[in-house]
Amino acid sequence: MKTDLLFDFTVDKTAKTVNITREFDAELSLVWDAYTKPEILDQWWAPRPWTSKTKFMNFEVGGRRFYAMVSPEGQEHWSIQRYTSISPKTNFKMFNAFADKDENPELPGSDWDLNFSEYNGRTKVSITIYNESLERMEKMIEMGFKEGTAMNMKNLEELLASLSQRK
Amino acid sequence: MRRDIFQAIADPTRRAILALIALQAMTPNAIADNFNTTRQSVSKHLRILTECELVKQQQQGREIYYSLEIEKMKEIDQWLNPFRKIWETRFDQLDQVLSTLKKQENEN
């Protein structure tokens, strides 16, 4: 794992936006695929021990991805993403909303703008997430909090397991 | 009135004030010397920062010195940290996926 890959993360609560930039040590077409093909997306989208489960995904303008984040206990948190604009290997935009298991979106949602660029064999992805409401943004961050806690618990379990083996 | 700390850091001048007094406690006049705005507007920013409990005031003789509330600054960080962590983990996983894909490409 290269440690010199750029990672920049800022939240502007007033503008209700989150900006995330990250470099990847791979060529653009590969990174683009990782973001736009469900079989690859599901491999990394959910922070372990959560898993990502895409029920369907039509990557075209007007198309949708309906997927769940599944907690280690098997709890499903569904979301819908609707693609509003696609410029292959350069940019795509989507509207993202939490949903119930029957595809009914919970509004308001958030608008995502993802930009891809390649330089010296590395690919930079810049993501801007704009939330219509501050509450929505806080909910998004709280969701992250839940997953983050689960993640940390998992790390703790692993740590405890490795410690108990040493005895 | 108690304000949300995020209101405090939403404004570029207030962020600059925080950066200044992070280094040393300063009087309102000394702070204002660093900006092209009126003293009044700097006072207003300082009032907001005080209401958000991001800065504390200390009276020394006839002067008031402003300094940073480090604990409160940590709160901003704590609120964001889990969310940032999610993305970090997500991207670390993507790094792994990409390196697997690269290997597969090279083998074909």
Find residue A53's DSSP bridge partners: A68
As a whole number of angstroms, the distance between CA A152 and CA B85 comes to: 10
Sign of CA dihedral B43, B45, B48, B53: negative
Give me the pLDDT at residue B91, please: 92
**What values do phi and psi take at A25, rounded to 5?**
-85, 65
pLDDT in tens, A50-62: 899 999 999 999 9
Cα–Cα distance, A68 to B70 (Å, whole number): 39
Write out pLDDT tens, residues A20-32.
899 998 899 999 9
- Domain span at residue A139 reads 7-165
Annotation: CATH topology of B5-68? Arc Repressor Mutant, subunit A (1.10.10)
A2 part of a folded domain = no
CATH at residue A72: 3.30.530.20
pLDDT at residue A55, rounded to an integer: 97
**Contact status, residue A111 vs residue A17, Cβ threshold 8 Å:** no
Q: Is A7 on the interface with B (CB under 8 A)?
A: yes
CA distance A31 to chain B (A): 7
Whether the per-residue pLDDT at A106 is higher than 60: the answer is: yes
Count A/B contacts: CB-CB distance under 8 Å. 86
Structural domain total, chain A: 1
Identify whether A1 is part of a domain. Answer: no
Q: What is the DSSP string of A101-151?
A: TTS-EEEEEEEEEEEEEEETTEEEEEEEEEESSHHHHHHHHHHHHHHHHHH
Q: What mean pLDDT value characterizes chain B?
A: 85
Average confidence (pLDDT) over A118-122 = 92
Closest listed residue to residue B13, CA positions, set B27, B25, B39: B39
- How far apart CA B96 and CA B81 sit, in angstroms, is 22
- Domain membership flag for residue A151: yes
Residues of A in contact with B93 (CB under 8 A): 43-44, 47-48
Residues of chain B with pLDDT under 70: 1-4, 6, 76-80
